[in-house]
């Protein structure tokens, strides 16, 4: 199953989401996200791509970025307190994306994510509820953490 985007026809720029994707990718490449491996970062980036554009389009780029940075800053201290190896502060990625998914679900509880099912000779698109995709995303992050 390959998720692409939500099925809501809300249009508009997503410069804040693209900037966050770029920033987190650069932080992951230089090794500044100490508590996540490469697979977790990849799944986190996919989660940010799936959940953030709708929230940004509804709230506007400045409000979305402000809220995301506040949540990332607050959870950075939480991650720093739990992970002794990272010091008093660590760059947080999973919890802000999870909060963004929660806001997405709160704004559009009946939204769905468009996914491709790659079966040879019979590929098809299906729509999966955003709540189910969030549960799958969290489960995948937890499985990658345990690995």
Q: How confident is the model over 93-116, as pLDDT tens digits? A: 888 999 999 999 999 898 888 888
In a domain, 90, yes or no: yes
At residue 147, the pLDDT reads 62
In a domain, 117, yes or no: no
In a domain, 66, yes or no: yes
Range of the domain at 65: 14-111+131-146
Region 8-34 average pLDDT? 82
Region 32-43 average pLDDT? 80
Helix 38-59 and helix 15-29, axial crossing angle in degrees, nearest 10: 160
Work out how many domains the chain is built from and give that number: 1
In a domain, 9, yes or no: no
pLDDT in tens, 50-81: 899 989 988 999 999 999 999 988 887 777 66
What is the spatial distance between Cα 60 and Cα 65, in angstroms, rounded to a whole number?
9
Rounded (5°) CA angle 71-88-85? 110
Asked if 48 contacts 72 with a C-beta cutoff of 8 angstroms, the reply is: no
In a domain, 24, yes or no: yes
In a domain, 21, yes or no: yes
In a domain, 4, yes or no: no
Helices and strands in the chain, H and E counts: 5, 3
At residue 71, the pLDDT reads 92
In a domain, 120, yes or no: no
């Amino acid at each position: 199953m390959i998720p692409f985007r939500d099925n809501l026809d809300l249009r508009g720029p997503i410069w804040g989401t693209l900037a966050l994707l770029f920033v987190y990718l650069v932080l992951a490449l230089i090794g500044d996200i100490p508590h996540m491996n490469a697979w977790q970062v990849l799944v986190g980036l996919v989660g940010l791509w799936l959940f953030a554009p709708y929230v940004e389009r509804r709230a506007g780029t400045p409000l979305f970025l402000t809220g995301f940075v506040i949540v990332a800053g607050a959870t950075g201290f939480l991650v720093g307190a739990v992970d002794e190896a990272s010091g008093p502060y660590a760059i947080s990625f999973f919890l802000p994306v999870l909060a963004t998914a929660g806001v997405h679900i709160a704004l559009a509880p009946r939204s769905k994510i468009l996914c491709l099912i790659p079966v040879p000779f019979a590929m098809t698109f299906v729509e999966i509820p955003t709540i189910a995709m969030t549960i799958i995303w969290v489960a995948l992050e937890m499985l990658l953490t345990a690995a």
